[in-house]
Amino acid sequence: VQLQASGGGLVQAGGSLRLSCAASGRTFGIYGMGWFRQAPGKEREFVAAIRWGIGTTYYADSMKGRFTISRDNAKNTLYLQMNSLKPEDTAVYYCTAGSYTANYDYARAEWYDDWGQGTQVTVSS
């Protein structure tokens, strides 16, 4: 699966952004998709995930209530609506997709097969 992320940019603290991730290729096999982020000097961390077929969502604790993950199956597109952004949300955001139905571990980067190129989100104070 090929993934193309977009929608990043510069926003002031308290603002909002919506990230998109267009999937192409063998999309019929997608079991779950997610967003991870990586700030300079830090490890990649889980943000949110969604079961592609049934739409069940999962969030990192620090994103609950501020971020919303969703998908449009018809368009093969994943979204991340980010509200009440904070400077500590500044990072490169990556979308990812996985097809294994066994041992689904939505918060573990190793479960996923394919990754997009990342989109930069910068939140100014």
Instruction: List pLDDT tens digits, range 34-51.
Output: 999 999 999 999 999 999
Q: Which two tokens stand for residue 11?
A: 């926003």
* pLDDT tens-place string over residues 64-83: 999 999 999 999 999 999 99
pLDDT at 100: 85
Q: Tell me the mean pLDDT in the region 86-110.
A: 94
**14 or 29, higher pLDDT:** 14
Q: Which residues contact 70 (CB under 8 A, 6 or more apart)?
A: 50, 57, 78, 79, 81
Using a pLDDT cut of 70, give the percent of the chain over it.
Answer: 100
